[in-house]
Amino acid sequence: MIYDHSRKGRRATAQAPLEKPELTGIPAEMVRTSRPNLPEVSEMQAVRHFTRLSQKNFSIDTHFYPLGSCTMKYNPRACNTLASLPGLKSRHPLAPDTHSQGFMACLHDLQEILKNVTGMHAVSLSPAAGAQGEFAGVAMIRAYHDARGDDQRSEILVPDAAHGTNPASAVMCGYKTREIPTGADGDIDVEALREALGPQTAGIMLTNPSTVGVFERRIKEIASMVHEAGGLLYYDGANLNAILGKVRPGDMGFDVIHMNLHKTFSTPHGGGGPGAGPVGVSERLEPYLPVPMVDYDGQDYRWLTEKDQPNTIGRLSAFAGNAGVLLRAYVYARLLGREGMHRVAEFSTLNANYLLKRLMEAGFDAAYPERRASHEFILTLKKQAKDLDVNTMDFAKRMLDYGVHAPTTYFPLLVPECLLIEPTESEAKEELDQFVEIMRTIKQEAENQPDLVKQAPHTMPVKRLDDVRAARELDLAYKAED
Amino acid sequence: MSNTPTDRRYAKSHEWIKDEGDGSLTIGITDHAQELLGDLVFVDLPEVGQSLDAGGDCAVVESVKAASDVYSPVSGEVIAINDALDGAPETINEDAFGDGWMFKVKASDMSELDGLLDAEGYDALVAEEE
């Protein structure tokens, strides 16, 4: 903690205001009388502190980061550079359309690119994150049924492997959820789906490739079954990277899709955002898209608002979503071009299948060994956990010692002791081979010196954390010593 | 050798339900369920007076690995909850079939119990899932 370095009266003049600001117009009872408890450190101490913190990070810029379902691929620096052009960065969001034509042209192009690559009829960029995109998607499903007076539809179907956000979004929109089981081959249980469908079905939320890392083969059949029952199909864009430019959700029969630009279109991940979760829809859902969107009449760009879209579900963010993130995604899409998008899908699936094959040869069990992987795959360490008493978390922690960010662990929940591994298209063969060697080494350690693995990590700034105690005795706020 | 108590019934979703003989039924999760979940860190119980549907979710158990819904094996009304779990969720890990009980209900249709598994049936289910 930077507070640990604090000494009374020490100052970092570079960070101090030049002059004491005048406080005017603030009611006296709202002006604080005691000083806030701020760390008092020198400029160099502050620099060292934050530099050290940054060095403790695992990041895609420093480490192999095969975190399944998160698509931790390389973010080209050019996206950042171009999105930071002064004309884009300094544009005021309330600037008139006539002064914003360049920016609006970028957003309009991005809408068109996303439409084309997903096969949807129209796209809105305004949701400020994937979760908000999901909310918008389900809200549009609701608006569609409501507009038709079809108000008996109370249920959204979700597969048991789904991301937790899917049922959460459905519930946020006032729906009940019903779980559909996954079959032993990784495909959704179509017979169970058939039984679950009915006049109460508002829709189904799917990802394809699914959360277990395989392509849902009977998707066309599923789409017509759901449509026949009067429901709509929602596509969670979590795994779009695997099919970019190859198969389009619109062609599979989906009515609405959200895209996680931070996954597939290489915008910054995590840290609480900012995010972008554009939504695309089929023709019948177009009237409900969230505003604003950008329209182009062949000459000028203009904002489409509530006036143009009277049945819109409304606004989800101030202005048009997170402009800087959308611009980065736009640059990324333009850098790739049509050919590049195909290559993303080809190399992300090639890398995943190569890694899966090599890890199986090294003695690891695939959760769905008879299936070809998509851009990610699942190993199950059930055997190691049972025979050696070394579980998936132990393997994951030991990987940190070898300089690899662990893959996703214990998700999806239906596969016991699982690792969800997504190498992405960014990695070269040597990196993948290196990872296989690390896994092979940890496996040998688990067999010969299990305690070495069970007590890992050994080289990290903090050792194995007591995550149970941390969750039971929450201690989130720093308590300063007087 | 199974330690599954024979004095109660079981749901396929890993809850146990015990007829206390005084019109009340006690419900909790099985020892197998707590073992799968691992160390519990939080339990969210229904409210006294809440009405439950058979098979409806009515409580949540959360471990460091996952949060899972708990389903009521029968329809009825909640008449008591185990307040002691608040602040001590590990009680379920330590004694799932005893002190780790979660809530008591007054069933609206006792015949719903007939559709549930006995200890032998539950053990067979667990063996099959493994």
Shared domain check, A158 and A25: no
Domain presence at residue A118: yes
pLDDT in the model for residue A269: 81
Q: Looking at A35-49, A193-207, A214-228, B90-104, which range is the least confident one?
A: A35-49
Does residue A4 have a pLDDT over 50? yes
Shared domain check, A142 and A108: yes
Strand partners, B51: B77
Q: Let me know if A320 is exposed, middle or buried by CB neighbors in 10 A (0-12, 13-18, 19+).
A: buried
Shared domain check, A48 and A131: no
Mean pLDDT of A211-235: 96
Nearest-CA residue of chain A relative to B40? A468
Nearest-CA residue of chain B relative to A408? B65
Alpha-carbon dihedral sign for residues A10, A14, A18, A21: negative
Strand partners, B106: B77
Domain presence at residue A135: yes
pLDDT in the model for residue A271: 64
pLDDT in the model for residue A482: 55
CA A349 to centroid of chain Cα atoms: 18
- Is A471 within 8 Å of B42 when comparing Cβ atoms? yes
Q: Rounded to the nearest 10 degrees, what angle do helices A392-401 and A429-448 cross at?
A: 120
Placement of tokens 């806030």 in the chain: A36
Nearest-CA residue of chain A relative to B65? A410
**Last residue of a domain, which of A279, A301, A335?**
A335
- Is B41 within 8 Å of A468 when comparing Cβ atoms? yes
Question: In chain A, positions 447-476, which contact chain B (CB-CB < 8 Å)?
Answer: 467-468, 471-472
- Express each pLDDT in A109-166 by its tens digit: 999 999 999 999 999 999 999 999 999 999 999 999 999 999 999 999 999 988 889 9
Token reading at A377 = 């795959």
* pLDDT confidence band for A481 (50 / 70 / 90): low
Tell me which chain A residues have a C-beta less than 8 angstroms from the C-beta of B41. 468, 471-472
Shared domain check, A188 and A103: yes
- Express each pLDDT in A171-189 by its tens digit: 999 999 999 999 999 999 9
Q: What is the 3-state secondary structure (H, E, C) of chain A?
A: CHHHHCCCCCCCHHHCCCCCCCCCCCCHHHCCCCCCCCCCCCHHHHHHHHHHHHHCCCCCCCCECCECCCCCCCCCHHHHHHHCCHHHHCCCCCCCHHHCHHHHHHHHHHHHHHHHHHCCCEEECCCCCHHHHHHHHHHHHHHHHHHCCCCCCCEEEEECCCCCHHHHHHHHCCCEEEEECECCCCCECHHHHHHHCCCCEEEEEECCCCCCCCCCCCHHHHHHHHHHCCCEEEEEHHHHHHCCCCCCHHHHCCCEEECCHHHHCCCCCCCCCCCCCCEEECHHHHHHCCECEEEECCCCEEEECCCCCCCCCCECCCCCCCHHHHHHHHHHHHHHHHHHHHHHHHHHHHHHHHHHHHHHHCCCEECCCCCCCCCCEEEECHHHHHHHCCCHHHHHHHHHHCCECCCEECCCCCCCCEEEECCCCCCCHHHHHHHHHHHHHHHHHHHHCHHHHHCCCCCCCCCCCCHHHHHHCCCCCCCCCC
Tell me which chain A residues have a C-beta less than 8 angstroms from the C-beta of B64. 467-468, 471
d(CA A406, nearest CA chain B) in Å:
15
Nearest-CA residue of chain A relative to B66? A413
Domain presence at residue A346: no
Instruction: Give A318's contacts (C-beta < 8 A, 6+ positions apart).
Output: A93
Question: In chain A, positions 228-247, which contact chain B (CB-CB < 8 Å)?
Answer: none
Shared domain check, A243 and A199: yes
CA A115 to centroid of chain Cα atoms: 20
Tell me which chain A residues have a C-beta less than 8 angstroms from the C-beta of B92. none
Instruction: Give A162's contacts (C-beta < 8 A, 6+ positions apart).
Output: A205, A206, A207, A211, A236
Domain presence at residue A19: yes
All domains in chain B, ordered by first residue: 10-109+117-125 (2.40.50.100)
Shared domain check, A177 and A112: yes
Tell me which chain A residues have a C-beta less than 8 angstroms from the C-beta of B39. 468
- Is B42 within 8 Å of A467 when comparing Cβ atoms? no
Shared domain check, A146 and A32: no
**In Å, what is the CA distance from A267 to each residue of A79, A100, A193?**
8, 22, 35
For chain A, what is the domain count? Answer: 2
Nearest-CA residue of chain A relative to B42? A472
pLDDT in the model for residue B41: 93
Domain presence at residue A41: yes
Mean pLDDT of A71-85: 94
CATH of the domain at A224: 3.40.640.10
Shared domain check, A24 and A173: no
- Is A468 within 8 Å of B64 when comparing Cβ atoms? yes
Please count the residue pairs, one from chain A and one from chain B, whose beta carbons lie less than 8 angstroms apart: 13
Mean pLDDT of A69-82: 93
Domain presence at residue A190: yes
Shared domain check, A282 and A164: yes
Shared domain check, A205 and A120: yes
Cβ atoms of A313 and A306 closer than 8 Å: no
First-last CA distance in chain B: 16
Domain presence at residue A304: yes
φ, ψ for residue B19 (rounded to 5)?
-80, 115
* pLDDT confidence band for A18 (50 / 70 / 90): confident
Most confident of the ranges A19-33, A53-67, A104-118: A104-118
Does residue A329 have a pLDDT over 50? yes
Q: Per-residue pLDDT tens, chain B, 130 aa: give them.
A: 468 999 999 999 999 999 999 989 999 999 999 998 889 999 999 999 999 999 988 999 999 878 889 999 999 999 999 999 988 999 999 999 999 999 999 999 999 999 999 999 999 999 987 7
Does residue A42 have a pLDDT over 90? yes
pLDDT in the model for residue A45: 94
pLDDT in the model for residue A311: 97
**Last residue of a domain, which of A280, A315, A335?**
A335
Cβ atoms of A129 and A278 closer than 8 Å: no
Shared domain check, A143 and A290: yes
**Last residue of a domain, which of A309, A335, A361?**
A335
The one-character DSSP state at B62 is E
Q: Give the structural domain span for A6.
A: 2-55
What percent of chain A clears pLDDT 90, i.e. is strictly above it? Answer: 81
- Is A413 within 8 Å of B89 when comparing Cβ atoms? no
Does residue A273 have a pLDDT over 70? no
Q: Quick check: helix, strand or coil at residue B24?
A: coil
Mean of the per-residue pLDDT values for chain A?
Answer: 94
Domain presence at residue A445: no
- Is B41 within 8 Å of A472 when comparing Cβ atoms? yes
Tell me which chain B residues have a C-beta less than 8 angstroms from the C-beta of A471. 41-42, 64
Cβ atoms of A60 and A73 closer than 8 Å: yes
Shared domain check, A244 and A102: yes
Q: Which amino acid type is present at position A167?
A: P
d(CA A467, nearest CA chain B) in Å:
7
Question: In chain A, positions 97-156, which contact chain B (CB-CB < 8 Å)?
Answer: none
